[in-house]
A and B are shown apart, each in its own frame.
Chain A
């Protein structure tokens, strides 16, 4: 059975955790502080953030390396899954596919919009895209699957 996500409000328990997570991502976490993550939209199963694309993440061609696109997409996809949950659970990426549709020079900001399409059993499916903040030009699209919750202790889980 494919359980489509019901539209509605974020579960209050998740909402409180999400606010804490947002503050944490913006101020405490070294990678995300570097990217200056800024929330644009957070809803049930939806997360849109803008971020810096710093020169430290450039590739050999001088443009932003696709690896940063994948880092950003993976991070925002996890948040989209988190907002869809009814209770707090661990989330780990199972697999991810990224198509690199465009290039951008370092220094500009980008926007990553993610939507959790469905949660079937313990697996959440997310798709989304990364665009330039200035003119909405497509940089990358992504699709990922995530395992939600853990049967064992949290120790050792990747995310």
Chain B
């Protein structure tokens, strides 16, 4: 049976970036995404936090995978904007995504990422995607 999660895995398996990020997804009704920490994800080694762009890439890939699983068609990101709400640590990151609106040609999504505590978000991203 093809499930939402299996379609997410199918999408991730086609993206080399997913391997670089250590990208994982789990759950059925409530999908959570995971970035598996790796030394190459560090921004400034003197501070040892995740690179902001790496966080953005993880949240963007999470939104893309979830949207692909819903739409079942080719999707492409038109733009993304991200706010960094708090500092990160050199650890895994968990993400959750939300579909704000899916029209015929474009979709709007939002993603949030955190580490130890979901109430202390590290970053929130919003992106617009074209469908088909």
Chain A residues proximal to chain B, CB less than 8 Å: 28-31, 34, 55-61, 65-68, 70-75, 90, 92-100, 154-159
Number of interface residues of B (CB under 8 A): 42
Tell me, rounded to whole Å, the shortest Cβ–Cβ distance linking A25 to chain B: 10
* A66-B49 contact in complex given A59-B17, A61-B74, A100-B78, C-beta closer than 8 Å: no
B27 at the interface (CB under 8 A from A): no
Give bound CA distance, A34 to B17, whole Å.
Answer: 14
B88 at the interface (CB under 8 A from A): yes
B83 adjacent to A158 (CB under 8 Å): no
A-B pair count, CB < 8 Å, reads 130
Mask, B73-96, CB within 8 Å of A = 1, is 010111111111001100000000
Across the A-B interface, give the 8 residue pairs with the lowest CB-CB distance, nearest first.
Answer: A67-B57, A71-B53, A74-B53, A60-B14, A97-B81, A60-B15, A65-B17, A70-B56
Dominant SS at the A interface? mixed
Tell me, rounded to whole Å, the shortest Cβ–Cβ distance linking A85 to chain B: 15
B6 at the interface (CB under 8 A from A): no
Mask, B54-73, CB within 8 Å of A = 1, is 10111011001000100000
Tell me, rounded to whole Å, the shortest Cβ–Cβ distance linking B39 to chain A: 6
A157 adjacent to B47 (CB under 8 Å): yes
* A100-B15 contact in complex given A31-B40, A34-B40, C-beta closer than 8 Å: no
